[in-house]
A and B are shown apart, each in its own frame.
Chain A
Amino acid sequence: KAGVTQTPRYLIKTRGQQVTLSCSPISGHRSVSWYQQTPGQGLQFLFEYFSETQRNKGNFPGRFSGRQFSNSRSEMNVSTLELGDSALYLCASSFSDFEAFFGQGTRLTVV
């Protein structure tokens, strides 16, 4: 059974650009969550989607957005990138809100 797949694995962007990250959940999982990990703030929740609906959103500016497609795949977008957006972005999927399984992450560097 394939795990959670995140693409791309690494990304370098310039300040002011926008970026889109992708997450394919484990087959059958309908909940997808996104987290940001930085050395200073640790692991912080961004948002969670279930059946194409955003159910929960963390305390991040509106530049961070996401969506979920009918096949449960999810994307997150960050517009007008800032240096502070450099982080490891992790996606997790779960079945019926129980155990969460994480992908390998996308490491974003903003220069």
Chain B
Amino acid sequence: GIQVEQSPPDLILQEGANSTLRCNFSDSVNNLQWFHQNPWGQLINLFYIPSGTKQNGRLSATTVATERYSLLYISSSQTTDSGVYFCADDYNTDKLIFGTGTRLQVFP
């Protein structure tokens, strides 16, 4: 079936470090999104990025649709970046298929 693979599953960083999170998709991407789940459970939109590159402050994302993967870059990480990061796509099916997430812990 259609899958979304995220790596790494866990990431531990010291404040100030940079990191790269990756998503691989088993089919052509359509409405790719990156989310950050906060400690209260809400999924916060980071990027809507079916193709190309976008930047928002210390975060940026790149999707290479032809190769079915997307990368999320976090630079100069802060403790507030801790949480779980998800990527998802709907594969043109009206429902989002989520990856299993990357759990990021940033220590001071």
- List A residues at the B interface (Cβ < 8 Å): 31, 33, 35, 37, 42-43, 45, 48, 50, 55-56, 58, 88, 90, 92, 97-105, 107
- List B residues at the A interface (Cβ < 8 Å): 31, 33, 35, 40-45, 48, 86, 88, 90, 93-98, 100-101
Specify the chain B residue showing the minimal Cβ separation from A107.
B41
Specify the chain A residue showing the minimal Cβ separation from B100.
A42
A27: shortest Cβ distance to chain B, in Å? 17
Instruction: Report the Cα distance A58→B2, complex, angstroms.
Output: 14
**A97 touches which of B41, B48, B90, B100 (Cβ 8 Å):** B90
Specify the chain B residue showing the minimal Cβ separation from A49.
B94
When the two chains form their complex, are residues A42 and B98 in contact, meaning their CB atoms are under 8 A apart? yes
Instruction: Report the Cα distance A33→B72, complex, angstroms.
Output: 25
When the two chains form their complex, are residues B31 and A98 in contact, meaning their CB atoms are under 8 A apart? yes
When the two chains form their complex, are residues B41 and A99 in contact, meaning their CB atoms are under 8 A apart? no
Instruction: Report the Cα distance A33→B95, complex, angstroms.
Output: 8
Q: Given the interface contacts A42-B101, A90-B43, A104-B40, does A98 sit within 8 Å of B48 by beta carbon?
A: yes
Instruction: Report the Cα distance A37→B45, complex, angstroms.
Output: 17
Q: Which residues of B contact A55 (CB under 8 A)?
A: 94
When the two chains form their complex, are residues A100 and B96 in contact, meaning their CB atoms are under 8 A apart? yes
Q: Given the interface contacts A42-B100, A42-B101, A43-B86, does A101 sit within 8 Å of B94 by beta carbon?
A: no
